[in-house]
Amino acid sequence: MSLRKFLRVQALIIKFWGELAMPDYEVIITSDRTMMSNHHGKEFLGFLTTGPALFLPERMWLWLAAPKVRVDSEGRPVEAPYGLRKVEAKLVDAGFKAAIVDPDYLEKHLGSVKVLMVGHHDFFAYGPPSNEWWLLTGKEPVNRVSFINFMRSDAVRKIKGKGAKIIVGGPAAWQWLWELNFWEEFGVDTVVDGEAEKVIVDVVEKALNGDPLPDYISVGPLDTPSVEEIPTIKGASVNGLVEVMRGCPRGCRFCSVTLRPLRHIPLEVIEKEVKINLMSGVSSVLLHSEDVLLYGGNGVKPNPEPLIRLHELVRKNFKGPIAWSHASLASIKYSEDNYGLISKLMNDYVLNDEQKFLGVEVGIETGSPRLAKSVMPAKSLPYPPIKWPDVVEDAFSIMHENYVIPAATLIVGLPGETPDDVVKTAELMDKLKYYRSVIVPMFFVPMGNFRNRDWFNKHYLTSEHVDLMLKILQHTLYWAEDIMNKYYVKEPHLAPVRLCLKLFLQYVKWRASKLLPTLTATVTR
């Protein structure tokens, strides 16, 4: 036998045994690259996936926003989106051969896969802020482009071609109702909307048995899982995200999460998941809830004891960076004013040699007490809606003093909004300019109007709106530069990311300066 033939035979033998050793996952859970990424370990950078590639080529933008994650020999990612981890855990606990697999490695499992489950938090970029970047720029956001390309990939086509069922779900499941052509093109069998823990085992069992599947499943509030029915993740989540609570008691009209019952995750479960992340090499802990400060709380009033225990527990296991996904401004003010809780948590638990600030998302939404009372009367609780602008300003001051850096949202164009509401919001922006923060406006866009620039111009280019946008832009550009210089993306190995971000900021400043004369003329008209 020649050497060449010998080596070829050896390669075939190794491939044979390798494939033999590959676990035969019948259920593969995955998503596209914009989701299957840890965003360089910086959760906030993930927001770049909600925009189109600006100033940079798309491939570079995607690298900046959503680089690939490390995977094992089976293509399983070391870190995966938390929602997918919950689905994986539920199926594994039920005895299915299920695993999350990176989108680049699906073909490794072509022989075994019978059900492909695809999750996403914004399949077609109809959620905020994707929809507004789309409207403003006229270009499709990269998360939409990436997802569509993924579903059209050879791997997914082959999986469908061999008769596997495709089940999709996640917070953005409703978006499939608006993209029926893609639903048909991709051969999706079932769309699952809502918290899936109590339905997903049934659906997968039916799919594996070849039973008919419903086209659409919507899980209502009464069928949300209890705390005992929520499984513990089996593998690490992106950037160490760990759920501490589900649901929210505030009842804001623009939010669907509030429809679901409030559930507090026990500390021992949280600790278990933190440890799973740390053992996988994840170097951050991201405590997740719609309002972290309501963990263990009494309705809308924070309770210091459970929060102190929560942070004690995290710090017992980990000295690195902690973040909160969301907190409400009312909770921040209440907990500091009544218990000194924000300063206690930051000084006694969060800030150390490895951590100089804590990042969190907060919702301002509006500076108008009238509009606040109309669309979000409980957002300011326990303070009355008339006090909402003061609550916002006080909370921002507390955060600034305690090195909590918020990314804040405003909702512009809410139904019932008047020019005076917009003016009040702009006045609030003037008061907030002293506080370190990034503020991002979200445009309320009714379905069907994302591609309609005329609709946008008619509804959002009033002088009041332009004035508000200018203030937001000036605020965010100023503080983004300060945050970048002093706090964010400072690790040496992230120097290229930092450079790209700085260049992007400079580009935005330059573009804004070009538009400023036109925008100022609109305001003074």
Partner 1 sequence: MGLLSDGNTERVVLVLSHDYAGDDLLNEVKKLVMSSKARRLTFYVISPDGRPKYFQKLRPMISSIISTSFTVVYGGSTAEDLRRLLKSIDGGIVAAIIVGNCDEFKEILESSGINYKVLG
Q: Which spans of this chain sit near partner 1 (rule: CB under 8 A)? A: 174, 176-178, 180, 183-184, 188, 194, 198-199, 201-203, 205-206, 212, 214-223, 256, 259
Q: What is the DSSP string of 154-213?
A: HHHHHHHHTT-EEEEESTTGGGGGG-HHHHHHHT--EEEES--TTTHHHHHHHHHHT---
CB of 180 to partner 1, least distance (A): 5
Report residue 401 as tokens: 């003093």
C-beta separation of 126 from 172 below 8 A: yes
C-beta closer to partner 1: residue 214 or 419 = 214
Q: Which residues contact 246 (CB under 8 A, 6 or more apart)?
A: 195, 224, 230, 260, 261, 262, 263, 265, 289
In terms of C-beta density within 10 A (0-12 exposed, 13-18 middle, 19 or more buried), how is residue 301 classed? Answer: middle
Asked whether the beta carbons of 97 and 239 are under 8 A apart, the reply is: no
CB closer to partner 1 out of 255 and 440: 255
Question: Shortest gap between Cβ of 251 and partner 1 (angstroms)?
Answer: 13
Query: For residues 174 and 450, which CB has a smaller minimum distance to partner 1 in the complex?
Result: 174
Nearer of residues 178 and 339 to partner 1, judged by Cβ: 178
451 CB burial (10 A radius; 0-12, 13-18, 19+): exposed
The least distance separating partner 1 from the CB of residue 174, rounded to whole angstroms, comes to 7
Q: Do the Cβ atoms of 509 and 501 come closer than 8 Å? A: no
Q: At closest approach, how far in Å is the CB of 201 from partner 1? A: 6
Q: Which is nearer to partner 1, 188 or 375 (CB)?
A: 188
Closer of 216 and 478 to partner 1 (Cβ): 216
Among 425, 424, 463, 420, CA closest to 442: 425
Report yes or no: 349 and 309 within 8 Å, Cβ to Cβ: no
Q: Count CB neighbours of 437 within 10 A.
A: 22
In the complex, what is the shortest distance from the CB of residue 375 to partner 1, in angstroms, rounded to a whole number?
17
The residue type of 56 is L
Q: What minimum distance in Å lies between the beta carbon of 511 and partner 1?
A: 37
**Tokens standing for residue 337:** 């004013």
Closer residue to partner 1 in complex, CB, 167/439: 167
Q: Least separation, in Å, of the C-beta of 220 and partner 1? A: 4
How distant, in Å, are the alpha carbons of 409, 463, 470 from that of 441? 6, 16, 11
CB-nearer residue toward partner 1: 161 or 221: 221
- The rounded Cα 508 to chain-centroid distance in angstroms is 23
* Residue 69 C-beta: closest distance to partner 1, Å: 32
CA 394 and chain centroid, separation: 26
Residue written as token pair 């669907």: 256
* CB-CB contact of 520 with 503 (8 Å): no
Query: Which CB atom, from 158 or from 198, has the smaller least distance to partner 1?
Result: 198
Shortest reach from residue 123's CB to partner 1, in Å? 14
Between CA 73 and CA 75 the distance in angstroms is 6
Nearest distance from C-beta of residue 144 to partner 1, angstroms: 19
Between 191 and 470, whose beta carbon lies closer to partner 1?
A: 191
